[in-house]
Each structure stands twice: as structure tokens, then as C-alpha cells.
Amino acid sequence: MSYKNLELLQMVTDLDENGYVVFHLDDFDALADQINEDIDSLISSGNYRTNSKIYSYNDSPRVVESWKHSSAARLLAFHPQIIELIGEYFKAVPKPFSTINFVRSTEQPLHSDSIHFGTDPPFQLAAAWVALEDIDPNSGPLHVVPKSHKWPEFVYSQISLPVARSLGDVKRYYELYEDWVSEDLDKRQVQTCVPQMKKGDVLIWLANLLHGSPGCLDSSISRRSQVIHFHTDVATNFYNPVFSDPAKAKNVNRKVEFIPE
């Protein structure tokens, strides 16, 4: 077995054990610079989508679906090193469906992606967070909670909340979920990990891993990055957990637009 294959298998093992893994993308600087240039142009034009205000914690824009405007951002969604690792982990074909680009920290509290993206079978999701510059530790870097992907999946019914009926419910429920995560971490007495990320480093996490960017010390410092979310070709159903009741098999379908290669 070649060194490359051994290295890949070790990363798959680390991903399975810890819920995340960090590695470096080869020959990435030019692509990163083009993405940054494209995002700056998009923001200047005002012709971009952003996340719902429900999931916004400051005024720094989150550029959603940059792949529709930037061929460089789309190329990153299919970077062979990322695709290879996610594919090897799931033994399935990774299918990117979302890009979000950041100029500064989100300052978002800890959360898991499974709270947003339900799948059948469960947890057919991974994300790749790519540093488009060296990340300053004061800029609100990405935090992760190692091994939290192995904890039970959160469902709103466990804190006695019924299925959401409105966007107002979604906002209120999500704030209660964030409080629950904070309290749960205190009970478990676990700490977050803050990987040092350099330009071209990528952190891949699994669906149920807690991650976020709390505790930004200086919001004026840039934190240029792109996150790509992937489902796999094994997933047969996609639903929105806050509007669904999986225990009663009542799931509200979520429309997924996969990125064309």
C-alpha cells in the first residue's frame, strides 16, 4: 500500500474517531486568491444571497451560493482531496449542495449541522471549512468539540417543543437549542478545540459534530473562508428537522439543489 493510501486511511480513522480532521490542500494559493477576489466583487455589487437573519450574529455578510457566480468557488466544492476523503469515509459519492463564504467570523455559538439538515439514512452529511487566508486567533476562529459527533442526535421534542409552525417559532426554538448546547457542555465538562488554520488548510466535520465561532476577540480582523456542505448519493430523503417529527415519520421535505460539476 502506498504512503498516500496509508495517509488517507489514517485521516478516515481520525475523522471517525474525533468527528473532524484537518489537512492541507495542494497548490491552492491561486485558487484561494481568485475566490477572495470574486467574493469582494460580489459584496461590492450587492448581487448575492445571504443567510436568514435567524442565523446571523453580526453585520458581516455570509455569501450564500457563491458557486453560482464564481467558478473558483465551484471548483473548490469539487476539490479532489476533499471529495476523496469524504467519499472514502462514507463509501459513497459526495454531492456538494451548499457554499457559504465568509469575510469575517460568524460569531455563531456551537451547533451541529444535523439540526439543520435531516437525511434518511441519518447523518449522510459532511462539511469542509477551508481557510482562504491565515486565520488570526483573535478573529473568531472555528471551534470544534472533539468526539461530540458520537453523542445522541438532538431533537426539539427532548426539550418539550412541538413541531415549529412559523419562522418566529424557528428563531425561538433555535435560541433555546443554543442554550441547551451550552448547558449540555457544562454538564459534560468538555472543552472546545481551536485548530490553528493556515491558508489552504481544510477542516472536515461530520453531521453531528458541534462547531461554531464563539468568543471573537476582534471582529475587525478578517477571517476569509469558504464552507461547503455535502450529502452523499446514499441519502434518499432530505428534511428540515425543526418542521418535522421523525419519531412519527412526519418529515417536511427540504429542497436540495446539488452543485453541477
Among 1-15, 29-43, 235-249, the range scoring the smallest mean pLDDT is: 1-15
What mean pLDDT is predicted for residues 252-256?
94
- Residue that wins the pLDDT comparison between 132 and 248: 132
Among 121, 140, 113, 128, residue whose Cα is nearest residue 209:
113
- Spell out the residues 6+ positions from residue 170 whose beta carbon is closer than 8 angstroms to its own: 54, 164, 242
- Spell out the residues 6+ positions from residue 122 whose beta carbon is closer than 8 angstroms to its own: 114, 153, 207
Do 72 and 38 form a contact (C-beta atoms < 8 A)? yes
- Residue that wins the pLDDT comparison between 54 and 100: 100
**CATH classification number, 14-248, choose in 2.60.120.620, 3.40.50.970, 2.40.110.10, 1.10.10.10:** 2.60.120.620
Give the pLDDT band (50/70/90) at residue 53: confident
Q: Say what the pLDDT of residue 212 is.
A: 98
Residue 81 has pLDDT above 80, yes or no: yes
Residue 2 has pLDDT above 70, yes or no: no
pLDDT digit string, tens, across residues 220-242 = 999 999 999 999 999 999 999 99
Q: Say what the pLDDT of residue 54 is.
A: 86
Residue 1 has pLDDT above 60, yes or no: no
Q: Report the predicted TM-score, pTM, of the whole model to 2 decimal places.
A: 0.95
Q: How far is CA 55 from CA 106, 110, 170, in A?
A: 9, 12, 10
Q: With H, G, I as helix, E, B as strand and everything else as coil, classify residue 260.
A: coil
Q: What are 49's strand-pairing partners?
A: 64
What mean pLDDT is predicted for residues 68-92?
98
| CA dist., res. 71 & res. 65, Å (int) | 11
Stated length of the chain: 261
Do 24 and 202 form a contact (C-beta atoms < 8 A)? yes
Give the pLDDT band (50/70/90) at residue 3: low
- Spell out the residues 6+ positions from residue 116 whose beta carbon is closer than 8 angstroms to its own: 240, 241
Do 221 and 139 form a contact (C-beta atoms < 8 A)? yes
- Residue that wins the pLDDT comparison between 18 and 251: 18
pLDDT digit string, tens, across residues 91-148 = 999 999 999 999 999 999 999 999 999 999 999 999 999 999 999 999 999 999 999 9
pLDDT digit string, tens, across residues 135-187 = 999 999 999 999 999 999 999 999 999 999 999 999 999 999 999 999 999 99
Residue 244 has pLDDT above 60, yes or no: yes
Give the pLDDT band (50/70/90) at residue 247: confident
Q: With H, G, I as helix, E, B as strand and everything else as coil, classify residue 8.
A: helix
pLDDT digit string, tens, across residues 30-46 = 999 999 999 999 999 99
- Spell out the residues 6+ positions from residue 79 whose beta carbon is closer than 8 angstroms to its own: 25, 128, 202
Residue 245 has pLDDT above 80, yes or no: yes
